[in-house]
Structure formats: structure tokens, C-alpha cells
Amino acid sequence: MRKIIYLFILLFVSCSVSFAQTEMPKTFIYDGYVLSQDSVPLEGAFLINYRTSKIIATDHSGYFKTTVEAGDSLMVNHVSMTPQVVQVVPTYIHKAHIYVSYRTYMINPITSYDEEKQRSNLDQSMNQLNQDIKEQILIDPTKRTGNDNTYDENVQNPGATIIRVTPRVSKKDKKD
């Protein structure tokens, strides 16, 4: 009878030890590569852990490494790829390879005017600019100060015209 009891105790201890060894640890290192559907490494892809809200980015080779718990989910996000949710599993022997597909963007059509319309807009803008210049103090000689080199079209090399403009201050501004 004692032999049977010892045998059951030995069997119970060996079973509990074997279950303890196969039990998955609570946290583990999850690492691998994020690749496009063409197997091109994705640099700068973000992996967001839903449980902890921790964000990591892949390096130039698409490699990432993070600490996770069993059952965690990661959102893989890249500007040119479709976001993808990945369920983590331990990667003790081989590194994980996460493949994501390209994101398609809908671009609204761009309407361009014909050349005549663009030229008309340019002429209108130039006319307005010329009118604004004529109204400025650069044309009115009474409002000029320190004219170092006036433009003379009869001279072969007129040089540069340097004009210093003094701001006009109103009586109201002087009181302040």
C-alpha cells in the first residue's frame, strides 16, 4: 500500500513539474520584422500595443523588439500601408514576419486652366501690381529720401537705385 501512495505522489509531483515547465510566461520579448507585401523592409512603421498604449518604431531593416504579454494585440501602422492588427505569439526560435499591404489613396481630380486663362490671370495680376507700384512712394519724388543713384535710361550702365524710405507717422501715432 505504501508503494502505491509513493507512486501516486511521485506521479503527481512529476505532472505538476511538467505542467509548470510548459506554462507560458506572463511577459515575453516579441521581435521580428515588418515587411511590405513585396518583402521590402518597412522603416518607420509604428507598432502600438493596445493593452499598454506603448508605441515602438521599426528601424531601417524593418526590425522591432518589444515586451508583451500573452494575448496582446499590436496595431501595425505605416503612412503608405494599410493598418493591420496582429495577435502576438511567442517567437523563441524564429523572428516574426509581419506582412502588410499597400494603402490606396483616393485623390480628387485637379482642374487646371488652359494657357489663355493663365495668361489672362497673369496679365491682370501684373496690371494690378503696376498700378500698386505707381501709387507707392517710390514714384512720388516728394516722398523719397536719400536717393543715392537715380535711374537714368540714357546712361549705358544705370547701376542700382538705392532708396531709403522714411515712414509717415500720423498725429494720432505721435500721441501714443
Q: What amino acid is encoded at 125 in this protein?
A: S
Supply the pLDDT for residue 129: 86
**pTM given for the model:** 0.48
Asked if the structure places residue 137 within a domain, the reply is yes
Supply the pLDDT for residue 7: 59
Asked if the structure places residue 10 within a domain, the reply is no
Same domain, 40 and 74: yes
Asked if the structure places residue 83 within a domain, the reply is yes
- CATH number at 38 reads 2.60.40.1120
Asked if the structure places residue 157 within a domain, the reply is no
Give the pLDDT means over successive 10-residue stretches in the chain (176 positions): 66 60 71 93 94 93 92 92 89 83 82 78 89 66 51 54 54 56
- pLDDT tens digits, residue range 58-82? 999 999 999 999 889 999 999 889 9
Domain that holds residue 66: 24-100
Q: How many domains does the chain have?
A: 2
